[in-house]
Amino acid sequence: MKTYSLNELVDIARKQSPYYKNLYKNVGTFTDLSQLPILDSATFWKANTIKDNQVLTGPQSSGIVFQSGGTTGNPKFSFFSLEEWELFTHAFGEGMRKGGLKPGEKIANMFYAGDLYASFMFISKSIEKSNSDVVHFPLSGGADFNHIVETMNSFEISTWAGVPTSMMKLSEYAQTNNLHAPTKILFGGESMYEDQINFIKEVFPKVQIQSIGYASVDGGLLGYLDESCEIQEHRVFTDYTVMEILDEDTLEVISEPNRPGKMFLTNLTRSLMPIIRYPVGDKAMWIDNSSVTYQRKFKILGRSDEGARVGPATVYYEDMNTLLNTFHDVIHIKGFQLRLVHFENMDQLVIRVAAANPSVNVQNQIKEHIYQEREMIKKLVDEKLIHPVAIEFVHMTDLDTNGRTGKLKRIIDARK
């Protein structure tokens, strides 16, 4: 299956893609990837339209088309030739095997399918190509919940695979109902936080929780894991990609470990829709020493651009997760989402928290802690530029999820 050298890929892109031809108009001979401009995500996707596509290097004569699972902005379509799709799933399947799939393992695939979403199809095909001799149960996350429970109990399925939100709902159900205990949970599509892991392990003390692997429909292969990887740690698919971590402010290439930056991907397997120095959208840092150049280990540190604009202030989901974690041991948080509303000419931030032990007292403590740690929010409230922050305790099933992907909607803008 075809992979390209960097020079081959750039040569194809600048000769056959109008977008890259314009991007590289001032680029001459180069000897290093860092000499090429990084992609601007907004202009890239604006040029990547269904009609008159300026990114593609030619017409698509075979393969598959997916739409990003994101919940905001204009739809983003990713185009793969048949050969690229085969290599994508083959490589990810290899990664799943390295991640510890065992012969005879029963896997319930509860990722989401349909509406051009890649998740379920991608995991299904990757499982087949992993050559791991496992038993695959393609349930899908959109299946009737009672049917999922019945199937798991009937077949005594040992491994769950799906988005963290689905894993939390099943664990919450298992607290008061009969459900065959999993020995392994493979999560993907979004990060799983420490408080979620702790809750699941309270329900299933012996369960092993790990990433299924790291990929995106827009970029492709991002990372796989082996037995040395901890939660959120992966290794680079060096045979198929080049991963860079760049300083958020200067865009300097970071080579040393333990220094956070933004991730950029160059995919050496895709020439129909080239991905060269593409912003992944996540922050990360290297774990391995810089002397490690093959399949180097990195740790995902959360989204690089996921924030809620409340009046003139921006509240980042990852920051709020850190603030709420202070109260986890008291109320046992299973998940949360930020909701933006607007009434009486002002914005309000509503934090919806799924907690096992909610209380009015803690509700007030959370609000005061936010004001203390985020003084600008308190100042805007005092100046009557935004409404006071609202804390709502809900059940996990009350949190909104994406109907296509099953992922938790971290930020909901309900302003009209």
Dist CA 270 CA 58 (whole Å): 12
Helix (H) or strand (E) holding 242, with range, is strand 241-246
Full-model pTM: 0.84
Dist CA 223 CA 220 (whole Å): 10
Helix (H) or strand (E) holding 122, with range, is helix 119-129
The maximal CA–CA distance of the chain, rounded, in angstroms, is 65
Q: Kindly state the tokens that stand for 13.
A: 């892109």
The length of the chain is 416
Q: Which fold has domain 6-80+214-303?
A: Rossmann fold (3.40.50)
- Within 8 A by CB and 6+ apart from 204, the residues are 171, 174, 181, 182
Q: How far is CA 291 from the centre of its chain?
A: 28
At 42 the pLDDT is 85
Q: Kindly state the tokens that stand for 356.
A: 């096992």
216 pairs with which residues across the strands? 220
Q: Which of 369, 374, 400, 373 is nearest to 386 (CA)?
A: 374
* Alpha-helical regions (H) of 193-336: 194-203, 317-325, 328-331
CB 9 within 8 A of CB 275: no
Three-state SS at 134:
coil
DSSP 359: -
Dist CA 318 CA 155 (whole Å): 38
Kindly give the interhelix angle for 375-382 and 360-373, rounded to the nearest 10 degrees.
Answer: 100
CATH class of 307-413: alpha beta
At 72 the pLDDT is 40
Location of structure tokens 């030619």: 58
Q: Kindly state the tokens that stand for 225.
A: 């894991």
CATH number of 86-211: 3.40.50.980
CA distances from residue 278 to 40, 212, 263, 306 in whole angstroms, order as listed: 8, 22, 8, 17
Q: Which of 160, 91, 159, 98 is nearest to 132 (CA)?
A: 98
At 314 the pLDDT is 78
CB 179 within 8 A of CB 152: yes
For 392-415, how does the pLDDT look when each residue is reduced to its tens digit (9 = 90+)?
999 999 999 888 788 888 888 888
Residues of the chain scoring pLDDT < 70: 1, 69-74, 305-306, 416
Q: Kindly state the tokens that stand for 261.
A: 């930056």
User: Could you state, in order of their start, the residue ranges of all structural domains in the chain?
Assistant: 6-80+214-303, 86-211, 307-413
One-character DSSP codes across 284-317: EEE-S-TT--SS-EEEEEEESS-EEEETTEEEEH
CB 264 within 8 A of CB 33: no
Asked if the domains at 6-80+214-303 and 86-211 fall in one CATH topology, the answer is: yes
| Cβ atoms < 10 Å from Cβ of 102 | 13
Question: Which burial class, exposed, middle or buried, applies to 367 when counting CB atoms under 10 A from its CB (0-12, 13-18, 19+)?
Answer: middle
Pairing of strands 106-109, 135-137: parallel
CB 289 within 8 A of CB 257: yes
